[in-house]
Amino acid sequence: MGRWRNVLRTPLGLTATVFTVGVLALAVVAPILWTDEANAVDTSNILASPSAEHWAGTDNLGRDIFYRVLVATRLTVRLALSATALAVVVGLLIGTASFLLGRRAGRVVNAGVNIAVAFPGLLLALFFAVIFGVGATGAVLAIGLAGAPAFARLTQTLVASVAARDYVAAAQVAGVGRVRILLRHVLPNISEPLVVNATIGAGGALLSFAGLSFLGLGVQQPAYDWGRLLYDGIQAIYVNPAAALAPGAAVLVAGLAFNLFGESVAKGLGVQTIGVQSLPETATDRGEAPDVAHQTSATDSAPTDTVLDVRDLVVSFPGPDGPIRPVRGVSFSVRRGEAVGVVGESGSGKSLTALAVTRLVGDPGRVDAERLELLGADLLAEDTKAQRHLLGTSLAMVFQDPMTSFNPTQRIGGQLAEVARHHQGMNRKEALARAVDRLDAVRIDQPEQRAHQYPHEFSGGMRQRAMVGMGLMGEPALIVADEPTTALDVTVQQQVLDLLKAIREEDGVALVLISHDVTVVAEVCNRVLVMYAGRIVEDLPAADLATGARHPYTRALVAAVPDMDTDLDRPLAVIPGRPVDPADVPVGCAYAARCPLASARCREEDPPLESDSLGRRVACWHAGEPIALEIEDRELEDVKAR
């Protein structure tokens, strides 16, 4: 019942509900109260304009149109509901037939429904109106049957989705008959969406009925529904426009009410939702300085061969209780030809860091930093043509999923060539030649032919290599690869990694490789940044990962990687606990709750990222301390700390 209350909560839902109930109530009481007024003939006052006595004027027999509209509510609603009921019943019969008849016959039924659905309802209604004859009964049959294919299609879809569920399959295996399965398992599960759609359908039927009556094919004299009143009224629209407008307005209000009521119920019950979820826009404290309190940065002046220099990078999103900071003050630099890996669990802020340094964080995200420079150019400055040129030619991005990262509607060659045409001023032919050359450079066979193909004609590994090739259209100094192998088959992952390695070695291109996979990073990179809860917690040479890591989180990540020596009889190592929610970062060290070394100090004071003499950095009060295997030890320490 709580879900039904959702319907009334929105202004539209509430209005639609009120009007629907109003129309239904009017359908019941209007003929009882006003039939005499509606039928009172006054030949001395025909086709009168609206007046205090006759609010909508009179018709050609001097009858009051306002009362006639009110009284007609019952017939209109009754006919619309009858037609809807017929449509639902016939639709259900056809729709479930494909389930009952089995695969082959079911396909024929489906094909028939698909053909029928392609024809507009009005055309079908006219067809049936011819067969069943002009008049109210004929129109009910016509509109009901015309609406049936749509309900049959809906039923088919719903039945198919339920029939795929395990309990239906189990019942089938158990030898329960199809009819019984349909009645006991399938129909109860599809009744809700059917009812909701029937409500929407009733609105449509009401409008269609008005249409048929308006054409003179529906209700005949002396009976009258709104469509018939409209038909009579429009003949005299120059004499008394109200005679057409009053029934027109009634049709409109009732049709809209039923329709929107159904849509609101659908939305409230989650039967079908249209629209896009979006973050609520709250006041963001734009003026606030980045959170720099506890982050000691590396060197003061960046060396001249620095490609990327990041200082105190903060990424924030507006949240319900003030801004949320998934990246909280990250500092690092990348030298020419260097390969830097960024590892961490999902939610550690590593991908956002990559998007932030490449200026790809979209609204409503916000990037702040003390310094963000690519080849000495300030990326935080205004978005200028020069900056776009620099980013477009000197920086290459490789994204996680090459399937979705290429535009499916354009040829690969064109998508590569676009870069050269926009940033290097090449014409179409030159740019395409460059694209073919780059595809060749990333070891794609028959590059001329391939350039003319669409992304879906490429295999996954080829697509990712083409993505790297797209980055090489300019002369990149830095490639930022965000999980470049995660979406690929294991067999082609190595190809892509080898390609990245080769490009770095041959062309001296720097690489920032984001990955959750410690082994991938260890293989390709010189240096590794370990991120946790939006901060760098350790910065160390890749060679030291296995044995020289000092932060307990880094050590846990390394320990969680199974290798040839892993004892397969023991459960796979996992890091206990959950990653930190960026909206709720605890005081002190963010990792403390999961850390076997955590002490009272860790829970109160966040450790700064300190450099040692070798340039390695770590943020931990207990860096390098041995981790006791025994849980009891930690508990003992906890007791002592208290």
Q: Could you say which residues in the range 452-511 bind another protein, by CB under 8 A?
A: 454, 456-463, 467, 470, 489
559-588 positions binding another protein, by CB under 8 A: none
Residue 81 beta carbon to another protein: minimum distance, rounded to whole angstroms: 18
Label residue 480 left, alpha or beta by phi (over 0 means left) and psi (-120 to 50 means alpha). Answer: beta
5-24 positions binding another protein, by CB under 8 A: 12
Residue 322 beta carbon to another protein: minimum distance, rounded to whole angstroms: 17
Residue 335 beta carbon to another protein: minimum distance, rounded to whole angstroms: 23
- For 197, residues 6+ apart whose C-beta sits below 8 A from its C-beta are 151, 154, 262, 266, 271
Q: Three-class SS of residue 542?
A: helix
Residue 118 beta carbon to another protein: minimum distance, rounded to whole angstroms: 6
Which of 24, 93, 100, 134 binds another protein (CB under 8 A)? It is 134
User: Beta partners for 352?
Assistant: none
Which of 27, 81, 230, 598 binds another protein (CB under 8 A)? It is 230
Are 122 and 211 within 8 A, CB to CB?
yes
Which of 113, 217, 432, 524 binds another protein (CB under 8 A)? It is 217
CA distances to 179, 205, 315, 343 from 542, in Å: 64, 70, 26, 11
356-415 positions binding another protein, by CB under 8 A: 358, 360, 362-364, 388-389, 391-392, 397, 399, 401, 403-410
CA-CA-CA-CA torsion sign (558, 561, 567, 569) = positive
Residue 68 near another protein by CB under 8 A: no
Cβ distance to another protein smaller for residue 128 or 591: 128
Residue 403 beta carbon to another protein: minimum distance, rounded to whole angstroms: 5
Cβ distance to another protein smaller for residue 456 or 642: 456
* Pairing verdict, β 510-515 and 478-482: parallel
Helix crossing, 242-269 with 2-9: angle to 10°?
140
- For 551, residues 6+ apart whose C-beta sits below 8 A from its C-beta are 530, 537, 538, 618, 619, 620, 623
Which of 203, 218, 344, 349 binds another protein (CB under 8 A)? It is 203
110-129 positions binding another protein, by CB under 8 A: 111-112, 115, 117-123, 126-127, 129
Which of 14, 61, 237, 587 binds another protein (CB under 8 A)? It is 237
Question: By CB under 8 A, which span of 202-210, 303-311, 534-542, 564-572 interacts with another protein?
Answer: 202-210
Residue 197 near another protein by CB under 8 A: no
Q: What is the DSSP string of 564-585?
A: TT--TTSPPP---S-PPPTTSP
Q: Pick the closest to residue 329 from 356, 311, 347 (CA basis).
A: 311
CB burial of residue 126 (10 Å; 0-12, 13-18, 19+): middle
Cβ distance to another protein smaller for residue 348 or 394: 394
Residue 252 beta carbon to another protein: minimum distance, rounded to whole angstroms: 6
- Distance CA(554)–CA(550), nearest Å, equals 7
Residue 417 beta carbon to another protein: minimum distance, rounded to whole angstroms: 11
Cβ distance to another protein smaller for residue 430 or 523: 430
Residue 514 beta carbon to another protein: minimum distance, rounded to whole angstroms: 14
Q: Pick the closest to residue 590 from 280, 286, 291 (CA basis).
A: 291
Tokens linked to 604: 């109160």
